Chains A and B, each alone.
Chain A
Amino acid sequence: MLTAILIMSGLALVIGVILGFAAIQFKAEENPLVDKIDAILPQTQCGQCGFPGCRPYAEAISRGEADINRCPPGGDEGIHRLADLLGMDAKPLGDGQAQAKAKSVAVIDEQRCIGCTLCLQACPVDAIVGAAKQMHTVIAKQCTGCELCVAPCPVECITMEALTEDITQWKWTYPRYDIKNSALSTDR
């Protein structure tokens, strides 16, 4: 019995070492920028940027095919960090994206929920709790407002509700000083 365990763990160890060594030895030179961009993206894989997931979006950014302002879950902060990384100007969430939509969370109408678990499977951040034939509910804190759960619901009991700013979630905004316009006004 003990020998069997030893044999298997020995085998696994040897293969693990070989694979680990190979991972270093055969490290493919991928664009390191993609990894950096990917690390900034929120990894919700929500697809609101128009790409199938965060990684493809990161690749598109690194190739210069996509703008940095297409990620609503990342929000303003994400755009700023991307802008810092790429040495670009930060710009508001844009062009056909959830246009500066007020941050919202999904709310399930618990009277109508039939417990089909479809929204559970759709949620990229596991912010919905529930079980089959049990009522589901959204953990507002976890919800990124990606709206992916709205479409799968067969009884249309999920609505997006805008979060009103209150003391619990208010944050400092980035300082925005309108240099261009103020320069113009001093010129006059």
Chain B
Amino acid sequence: MSPAPDALQRRHRFQWWELLPWATGLAMFFAFPNYLSFGTQLLVTILFALSLDLVLGYAGIVTLGHAAFFCVGAYTVGILAQQLGWNEPLSGLVAAGLAAGIVGLISGFVLLRTHGLTLLMVTLCTMTLLEQAANMGHAWTGGFDGMPGLSFTMILGLFPFDVLYFKSQYLYSLSVLALGFVVVRTLVYSSFGQSLTGIRENLLRMHAVGAPVRGRLIVAYGISAALAGVAGGLFTQVTGYVNLAVLGLERAAGVMIILILGGHGRLYGAFVGAVAYLVLEHLLAKAYPTAWQLGLGLTLVAVALFARGGLIGLFEKLRGAR
């Protein structure tokens, strides 16, 4: 077979190096038992960034409000646990995903008829609306203080949440992330995922070949929202609290920065970006918060000007140049 169709036919197959992140994830569990709380946070962030990659990287929807879905998931789990006494973690995650997915589908149906600046604005407004609503709905959401001290029953009835060392939380998050990754990977290489890339690259042509553009975008938005919701629910479960810090412009911009830094439209961009960002933040932000912000700003400017494609894009370029 000639090389091009051959490569196209093979590209969805697993490569040996795709085991590396997961092996690293497991190795971290044994190598750094004292950093599992940080590791758990990292895994949740990767899942969140991965969900954004589906809409931003693959479908090309530039949104500033993705944190809204993270927030819906996080608050769904929190409200279920605190108000209704529903503490079972797995069903909690499913509920978070469903709630965020429904919000995503509805808002996608309404918002995705706009594009460009207007789309940026309406996603931003929707997120700010949710933020204000969460702040006002004191009886349900705890207002500004949020819901501290949530507890959950054992995972699968076997593993209790480990408040001190985060052992079970880490493995739990790793499993959820792996599941989420398989979903996204399968989706991206499916004909559905191909049509999303087509819409991103050439909207006019996709309309011309008769692809149901708006429907595809709305479904992708809904799936991505559901994944972000799962990430949010996971966040509430592993930390045991939820408050207004789960949303807001800074969080939405933060996850976008992570994805772009790693490389959007590339499956592993979320992984690389989250590790680079969070490790640097962990080391620098507390000691030199201002310098951290300055460095982050300069990095963003540099990435936008010179390194579109992020760290992975840079790596690909270097490999191509050799």
B and A form one assembly: no
